[in-house]
Amino acid sequence: MTNSSAGISGNQKRKMKSAARLYAVQALFQMEHSSQTVERVRNEFLEHRFGAVYEGAEMLDGDINLFARVLDDAVNYQAPIDQMTDRALVAKWPIARIDPTLRALFRAAGAEFRDTGTPPKVVISEYVDVARAFFPDGKEPSFVNAVLDHMAHEARPDAF
């Protein structure tokens, strides 16, 4: 489970980043529901999810550095990320009332908005795709798009 970029195509790198984002949302959800530390959950994901084989199907390998950075920033900056999310939500729907999967998703995306390396529009698109993975038939992806757009404009106004 190395994360060397040697010999990896651009398409494979994008898939690894997408997988890291999906895993980060799952890890944040797990942390909230199990009260496990970020270190414990991170290690569990790296040892048992990244590239693991379950029932003959191989899990996607993920970008370990992105996964770790999103987790750390989501935990270390949770309060300001949650406040930014609250401002993006309708006043009657504070983050505490949001579906826990969406709450984890907003925290992961909020963590990425703190990093200027990825354009906000890419972050939005990636996390809308994560929402589609969890809610394939619902309205949640559109909701996620609207909330993340608002958050991105607040976090990185210079990018628009």
pLDDT mean over 105-131: 95
| Structural domains of the chain, count | 1
Cα torsion through 15, 16, 20, 22, rounded to 10: 20
Are 155 and 113 in contact by the 8 Å Cβ rule? The answer is: yes
- pLDDT above 70 for 27: yes
Residue 5 lies in a domain: no
Residue 6 lies in a domain: no
- pLDDT above 50 for 2: no
Residue 3 lies in a domain: no
pLDDT band at 52 (very low <50, low <70, confident <90, very high): low
CATH number at residue 44: 1.10.940.10
Residue 2 lies in a domain: no
The whole-model pTM stands at 0.87
Residue 16 lies in a domain: yes
Burial of 108 (0-12, 13-18, 19+ CB in 10 A): buried
Residue 75 lies in a domain: yes
Q: Which residue has the higher pLDDT, 49 or 128?
A: 128
Q: Which domain holds residue 49?
A: 11-159
- pLDDT above 90 for 59: no
Residue 36 lies in a domain: yes
- pLDDT above 60 for 69: yes
- pLDDT above 90 for 92: no
